[in-house]
A and B are shown apart, each in its own frame.
Chain A
Amino acid sequence: DAKTTQPTSMDCAEGRAANLPCNHSTISGNEYVYWYRQIHSQGPQYIIHGLKNNETNEMASLIITEDRKSSTLILPHATLRDTAVYYCIVRVAKNRDDKIIFGKGTRLHILP
């Protein structure tokens, strides 16, 4: 699976848009970009995923560059409850292997 690179930590002011970058320069054509987050020690929470088109749901937007080598997760109006570790994951199902591999993620601090 392609490796992802994320900043270790980021700060964002409450009410502002939080833009979390992710590099996945070795991504291949059948690999999806997923974002999960983990609030404190809770279970990972699915946020959004995409292949090559930009995606938006009620939680966030995912912007994938045209060459697919990087992406940005956007939380449009961050709240204190968005403080969490955010994981960018590339995922491919090959043979019987479709597990999600978590890295270290980005620790996002929302500042009041």
Chain B
Amino acid sequence: EPEVTQTPSHQVTQMGQEVILRCVPISNHLYFYWYRQILGQKVEFLVSFYNNEISEKSEIFDDQFSVERPDGSNFTLKIRSTKLEDSAMYFCASSEIRGPNTEAFFGQGTRLTVV
């Protein structure tokens, strides 16, 4: 069964460093998302992406965040200068088409720890 793949599963980084979280969406999917979940809190929307541009972003997704689809298979989230409060699980998701009648599938996440 096709699945969304995320790497690495766990990343530890020093405060102020840049990190890139990688995702391989399901191959025929066209819409991509990043979410995050701080320990013990809700899953929060960060950004959606379609046709090589951001469709929507939340207030969390400030200038230190960026997303990119560098090739036909990868979808990345870059955090330019990490802060302690960026420590969280980051989930990538993809859906085949846009709209409320199509499910989004999530990866298993990357646990980011900023020290």
Question: Which residues from chain A sit less than 8 Å from chain B, CB to CB?
Answer: 30-32, 34, 38, 41-46, 49, 51, 87, 91-93, 96-104
- How many pairs, one residue from A and one from B, have CB atoms within 8 Å of each other in the complex? 63
- Give B residues with C-beta under 8 Å from A: 4, 31, 33, 35, 37, 42-45, 48, 55-56, 89, 91, 93, 98-101, 103-109, 111
The A contact surface, by secondary structure, is loop
Q: Is the CB of A93 within 8 A of B109?
A: no
Is B43 in contact with A102, judged by CB distance below 8 angstroms? yes
Q: Are A93 and B91 in contact (CB under 8 A)?
A: no
Contacts of B55 in A (CB 8 A): 96-98
- List chain B residues, Cβ under 8 A from A91: 100
Select from chain B the residue with minimum beta-carbon distance to A43. B106
Contact of A98 among B44, B100, B106, B108 (CB under 8 A): B100
